[in-house]
Amino acid sequence: MILEDIISEFNLELVNEGNLKVKINAGVIGDLLSEVMRNGKENCIWITHQTHQNIIAVAEVIGAKAILIPENLNYLPETLERAKDMRINLLKTELSGFEITGKIYKILKDNGSI
């Protein structure tokens, strides 16, 4: 499924725009960076409560196409700067991590993307 369709479907806030036409075919949820590096997959959406700049480096390493923070959290200013430089999609939602993870999983599964 295309990232911009996921954004539209769940009314996600686009905080930093990279390439919205990328295909998302996996997801990872986690706040422990080493765990995300172990379990993350190319072309995934990563759901985390972390907002510091190190998440951008981890997204680059695993090939994540978007980072999504729940509960209306805000990214730190240095994270936004780094995301702009690296062209990483940063998203946010008012939903809980549990709720948005379930919704994204369902739409990816129903769509045949996973």
May I ask the CATH class of domain 3-111? alpha beta
Contacts within 8 Å (CB) and 24+ apart, 103-110: 103/10, 104/6, 104/10, 104/27, 104/45, 104/47, 105/27, 107/1, 107/6, 107/9, 108/1, 108/24, 108/25, 108/27
pLDDT in tens, 67-111: 999 999 999 999 999 999 999 999 999 999 999 999 999 999 999
pLDDT in tens, 16-41: 999 999 999 999 999 999 999 999 99
Confidence class for position 57, pLDDT limits 50, 70, 90: very high
